[in-house]
Amino acid sequence: MAERGRTESLIAAAVDRLRATGGYAGADPHPRAWALVLPDGQPAPLPICLWAAFDNYYPLNGGRSAVPVADREGVLAVDSMDRVLRWVCLESIEDEIDEETREYLEELIQDLSPRFPGYGAVLANEYPDPVLWIPPSGEVSIMWYEHDAFNQRTLFLDLISEL
pLDDT tens sequence across 68-99: 999 999 999 999 999 999 999 999 999 999 99
pLDDT confidence of residue 1: 55
What is the predicted pLDDT for the residue at 10? 87
- Across the range 43-58, mean pLDDT stands at 95
Using the 8-state DSSP alphabet, how is residue 124 labeled? -
Which residues have a Cβ under 8 Å from the Cβ of 130 and sit 6 or more positions away?
60, 61, 65, 122, 123, 124, 142, 143, 144
pLDDT at 115 over 60: yes
Q: What is the pLDDT of residues 6-43, one digit of tens each?
A: 888 888 888 888 888 877 777 899 999 999 999 999 99
Position 105 confidence tier, pLDDT thresholds 50, 70, 90:
very high
pLDDT category, 2, cuts 50, 70, 90? low
Q: Residue 104: exposed, middle, or buried by beta-carbon count in 10 A (0-12, 13-18, 19+)?
A: middle
Per-residue pLDDT, 17 = 87
- Distance from C-alpha of 123 to C-alpha of 61, rounded to nearest angstrom: 10
- Residue 148, pLDDT score: 93
For the chain, the domains span 2-161
Question: Which sign does the torsion angle of CA 86, 88, 94, 98 carry?
Answer: negative
How many Å apart are CA 139 and CA 70, to the nearest integer? Answer: 18
Residue 19 confidence (pLDDT): 83
